[in-house]
Amino acid sequence: MMQFATLRAAAVVAVLGAATVAAAVPAAAQQLPAPIIMIVDIQGVQQGSKAFKNIQAQMQTHRQSFQKEISDQEAQLRNAEQELQRQRTILSPEAFGQKQREFQERVNNVQRNAQSRRRQLEEGFNEAMQQVQRQLLQVVGKLAEERGATIVLPKTLVVLVDKRFEASDEALKRLDAAITQVSVKLPAKK
């Protein structure tokens, strides 16, 4: 019972506070039109778009190429390690130590190369997705203008919504009409 009384008191204070603030709002601000809301599932539209699917296909090709390159380098390292182990008994400790340091440097180079290639893939993907996002923003802006929407909200912020406010399907159709392919360009190796 005590919690109910506290909640009721808080509600009364909130209503009185809102009334006081509303009374203090200038007359010009009170004449603003009622907001017209449009909801768009931004992530769903992006992931359902032809451009996104095209980017994914290109990324898969790049990943496979990258994986083959790394696998080849790892196979070379395994062979080099086996050869180093065979030479262990015939080389002097100093010569073996030098070969072991050289081998470790090769391992480090392969690891740096793998990290560099991962960054390249990520940068290429991000750049391609930015193109899709820019186009989607234009599509949503035009759609909002046509519908007279004064507020556009991403669907992730909305719990329940009347389907009449939802514009995701139309946004997807228009995005697909505007852009179907985006070239994934990997930056040069650093």
Domain positions in the chain: 2-27+36-178
What tokens does 63 get? Answer: 């990943």
User: Confidence class of residue 176 from pLDDT cuts 50, 70 and 90?
Assistant: very high
- For residue 169, give the 3-state DSSP assignment: helix
Rounded to whole angstroms, the Cα distance separating 99 from 89 reads 13
pLDDT of residue 29: 56
Entry pTM: 0.72
Average pLDDT over residues 64-77: 93
User: Confidence class of residue 88 from pLDDT cuts 50, 70 and 90?
Assistant: confident
Rounded to whole angstroms, the Cα distance separating 110 from 74 reads 8
pLDDT of residue 1: 42
**How deeply is 128 buried, as exposed, middle or buried, from its count of CB atoms within 10 A (0-12, 13-18, 19+)?**
buried
Average pLDDT over residues 126-135: 96
User: Confidence class of residue 190 from pLDDT cuts 50, 70 and 90?
Assistant: low
Give 117 or 17, the one with higher predicted confidence: 117
Query: Would you say residue 5 has pLDDT above 80?
Result: no
Query: Would you say residue 183 has pLDDT above 50?
Result: yes
pLDDT of residue 28: 55
Query: Would you say residue 6 has pLDDT above 50?
Result: no
Rounded to whole angstroms, the Cα distance separating 132 from 146 reads 21
User: Confidence class of residue 33 from pLDDT cuts 50, 70 and 90?
Assistant: confident
Residue with tokens 């391992």: 107
For 183, phi and psi rounded to 5 degrees?
-75, 125
Question: HSE (CB half, 13 Å, CA atoms) of 113?
Answer: 14
